[in-house]
Amino acid sequence: MARLGVLLFLVQIVLAVCALISCLSAEEGQIRALPRIAWVLIILFFPLVGSIAWFIVGREPSNGARKGWPGVTGGGERQRPRPVAPDDDPEFLRSVEERAQQQDQELFQRWEEDLRRREDDLRRRDGEPPRGGDRPEV
Per-residue pLDDT in tens (0 to 9) along the chain, 138 residues: 788 999 999 999 999 999 999 999 998 888 988 899 999 999 999 999 999 999 999 888 766 555 555 555 555 555 666 666 777 788 888 999 999 999 999 999 999 999 999 999 988 888 777 666 555 555
Q: In total, how many domains does the chain have?
A: 1
Domain holding 123, by residue range, is 86-127
Residue 49 lies in a domain: no
Residue 112 lies in a domain: yes
CA distance 66 to 60: 9
CA distance 104 to 114: 15
Residue 48 lies in a domain: no
pLDDT of res. 77:
52
* pTM for the full predicted model: 0.46
Residue 81 lies in a domain: no
Residue 90 lies in a domain: yes
Residue 17 lies in a domain: no
42 close to 48: Cβ distance less than 8 angstroms = no
How many residues does the structure list for the chain? 138
